[in-house]
């Protein structure tokens, strides 16, 4: 990694501003956390800072309060959960204070009172419209709280906001937290120096959302597997009719160009050879398997890949050394059409010789559903950010960090 990491600098007795992703799901009234995965993911960084005698200041956004205070989006419920998790992690009781505003006199005073080994959690950054506007004065106020900046919120790194980008103009060094470092290292290696064979599996609903990733990966992979709704636009590009399946009519030419580009680059572009067709878009629809070489019956639609496609994917995945997977193979929200997606999850997990990288909320839930998360090398915490990274885009929150 070309950026400084938290492990490269001295934290002793320093006030360390850590941008974390505590954008956790809450109950409707905003009082209780329903899933603490994101808090847990950033614990190693917080623990590292505390063990190295830092005074830790944590900042995050939560939901979309649209630039003004709203108790529904308060980070206050995080305090207790964080304290429990840190106590367990460190084996001692950790002092976690809360500032009702992320900037201003109260926040400054609480930051000044912090002692080594203590934590101060700031209220939701997005209570101020200046956060998303990347306002310079607001960035400067955030910077005034600390002496070191750490970004551990990979999921927000594709946005140039005050807490991810602006602040680094006023607070240096700006370094990556351990989670951020892990994300950049794995995703970066997949793009820059992947062990071959490199297999990418791209699924999901539409080509339009994934075309930039597909284009960028065509320069890197040996095999590109395309599944999910977007495969039908490719099918149409090959001259097969697809009934009522999801198709982006205006992207058929783009699919043709992509097929030609893959051929020219010697990339094995694998499309589903069979599908599970449904007589309507419903969990209990009537179904039939259908080979993709034949025109689909007019009133039916493909909602999952079929067994022959699964077998073909299992085969290429089994010999891969690098696997990147983003997007489901079917309408996996309906259990009967989750078969392909679950099979991919198990196939990726089964290849112990490969570096496997999963991005995107749907693939991550498939991995969790299949109970194989611990067999994946890296599960990205940032859906949008990992997609932009794989598109080859520079993420402002990463670019802003201090070079080694």
Considering only 75, 178, 207, 303, the residue that binds ligand AMP (CB under 6 A) is 303
Considering only 177, 330, 396, 397, the residue that binds ligand AMP (CB under 6 A) is 330
Considering only 169, 172, 206, 346, the residue that binds ligand AMP (CB under 6 A) is 206
The total of other beta-carbon atoms located within 10 Å of residue 238's CB is 13
Q: Looking at the DSSP assignment, which residues form a beta bridge with residue 121? A: 58, 98
How many residues belong to the site for ligand AMP (CB under 6 A)?
Answer: 16
Nearer to ligand AMP, 243 or 302 (CB): 302
Which residue out of 63, 188, 383, 384 is catalytically annotated?
A: 384
Which residue out of 206, 256, 261, 321 is catalytically annotated?
A: 206
Nearer to ligand AMP, 20 or 358 (CB): 358
E strands, 217-360, in order: 223-226, 268-270, 274-278, 287-291, 301-305, 322-326, 355-359
For residues 305 and 337, the answer to whether their CB atoms sit within 8 Å is no
The rounded distance, in Å, linking the Cα atoms of 64 and 132 is 11
User: Per CB under 6 A, does 333 bind ligand AMP?
Assistant: yes
Q: Kind of pairing, strands 148-151 and 55-59?
A: unpaired
The rounded distance, in Å, linking the Cα atoms of 377 and 360 is 15
Nearer to ligand AMP, 275 or 355 (CB): 275
Nearer to ligand AMP, 60 or 233 (CB): 233
The rounded distance, in Å, linking the Cα atoms of 273 and 278 is 16
Question: Strand, helix or coil at 352?
Answer: coil
Q: The tokens 């649209």 sit on which residue?
A: 66
Catalytic, 182? Answer no
Select the span of 20-28, 42-50, 198-206, 395-403 touching ligand AMP (CB under 6 A): 198-206
Select the span of 144-152, 184-192, 262-270, 323-331 touching ligand AMP (CB under 6 A): 323-331
User: Per CB under 6 A, does 302 bind ligand AMP?
Assistant: yes
Which residue out of 117, 361, 383, 392 is catalytically annotated?
A: 361
Following CA atoms 119, 122, 124, 127 in sequence, which dihedral angle do they give, to the nearest 10 degrees? 180
Nearest-approach distance from CB 35 to ligand AMP, in angstroms? 19
Of 124, 99, 131, nearest in space to 113 by CA = 99
Q: Kind of pairing, strands 274-278 and 301-305?
A: antiparallel
Nearer to ligand AMP, 42 or 363 (CB): 363
Select the span of 2-10, 43-51, 311-319, 330-338 touching ligand AMP (CB under 6 A): 330-338
Nearest-approach distance from CB 333 to ligand AMP, in angstroms? 5
Considering only 153, 331, 348, 372, the residue that binds ligand AMP (CB under 6 A) is 331
Q: How far apart are the first and last CA of the chain?
A: 8
Catalytic, 361? Answer yes
Nearest-approach distance from CB 101 to ligand AMP, in angstroms? 36
Considering only 65, 229, 272, 397, the residue that binds ligand AMP (CB under 6 A) is 229
Nearer to ligand AMP, 233 or 355 (CB): 233
Nearest-approach distance from CB 325 to ligand AMP, in angstroms? 11
Considering only 25, 104, 209, 283, the residue that binds ligand AMP (CB under 6 A) is 209
Following CA atoms 131, 210, 328, 302 in sequence, which dihedral angle do they give, to the nearest 10 degrees? 130
Q: How far lies 404's CA from each of 4, 152, 179, 271, 367, in Å?
A: 5, 17, 18, 42, 35
Nearer to ligand AMP, 306 or 328 (CB): 328
Return all residues near 281 (Cβ < 8 A) that are at least 6 apart. 301, 303, 331
The rounded distance, in Å, linking the Cα atoms of 283 and 270 is 27
Backbone angles phi, psi at 358, to 5 degrees: -115, 130
Nearest-approach distance from CB 290 to ligand AMP, in angstroms? 12
The rounded distance, in Å, linking the Cα atoms of 238 and 150 is 49
Pair of tokens at residue 391: 């598109």
Catalytic, 206? Answer yes
Considering only 21, 152, 248, 362, the residue that binds ligand AMP (CB under 6 A) is 362
Catalytic, 384? Answer yes
For residues 17 and 177, the answer to whether their CB atoms sit within 8 Å is no
Considering only 65, 155, 204, 243, the residue that binds ligand AMP (CB under 6 A) is 204
User: Per CB under 6 A, does 246 bind ligand AMP?
Assistant: yes
The residues carrying an active-site annotation are 38, 206, 361, 384
Residues that bind ligand AMP (CB under 6 A): 204-206, 209, 228-229, 246, 302-303, 327-328, 330-331, 333, 360, 362
């Amino acid at each position: 990694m070309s950026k400084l990491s938290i492990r490269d600098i001295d934290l002793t007795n320093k006030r360390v501003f850590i941008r974390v992703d505590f954008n956790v799901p809450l109950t409707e009234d905003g009082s209780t956390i329903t899933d603490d995965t994101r808090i847990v993911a950033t614990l190693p960084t917080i623990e590292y800072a505390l063990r190295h005698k830092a005074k830790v200041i944590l900042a995050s956004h939560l939901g979309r309060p649209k630039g003004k205070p709203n108790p529904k989006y308060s980070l206050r419920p995080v305090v207790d959960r964080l304290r429990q998790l840190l106590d367990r992690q460190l084996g001692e009781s950790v002092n976690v204070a809360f500032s009702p505003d992320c900037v201003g006199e109260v926040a400054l005073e609480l930051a000044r009172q912090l002692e080594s080994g203590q934590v101060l959690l700031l209220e939701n950054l997005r209570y101020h419209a200046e956060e998303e506007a990347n306002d310079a004065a607001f960035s400067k106020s955030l910077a005034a709280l600390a002496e070191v900046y750490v970004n551990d919120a990979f999921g927000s790194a594709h946005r140039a906001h005050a807490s991810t980008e602006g602040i680094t103009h006023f607070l240096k060094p700006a370094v990556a937290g351990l989670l951020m470092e892990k994300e950049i290292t794995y995703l970066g290696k997949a793009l820059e120096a992947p062990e071959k064979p490199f297999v990418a599996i791209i699924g999901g609903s539409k080509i339009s959302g994934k075309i930039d990733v597909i284009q960028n990966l065509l320069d890197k992979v040996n095999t590109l597997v395309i599944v999910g709704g977007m495969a039908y636009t490719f099918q149409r590009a090959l001259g097969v009719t697809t009934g009522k399946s999801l198709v982006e009519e205006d992207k058929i030419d783009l699919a043709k160009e992509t097929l030609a580009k893959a051929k020219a680059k010697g990339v094995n572009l694998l499309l589903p050879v069979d599908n599970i067709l449904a007589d309507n878009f419903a969990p209990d629809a009537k179904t039939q398997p259908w080979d993709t070489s034949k025109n689909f019956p007019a009133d039916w639609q493909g909602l999952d890949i079929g067994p022959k496609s699964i077998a073909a994917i299992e085969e290429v995945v089994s010999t891969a050394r690098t696997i990147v997977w983003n997007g489901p193979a079917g309408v996996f929200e309906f259990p009967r059409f989750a078969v392909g997606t679950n099979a991919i999850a198990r196939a990726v997990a089964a290849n112990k010789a490969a570096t496997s990288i999963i991005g995107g909320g749907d693939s991550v839930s498939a991995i969790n559903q299949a109970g194989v998360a611990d067999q994946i090398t890296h599960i990205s915490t940032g859906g949008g950010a990992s997609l932009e990274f794989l598109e080859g885009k520079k993420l402002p929150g990463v670019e802003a960090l201090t070079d080694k």
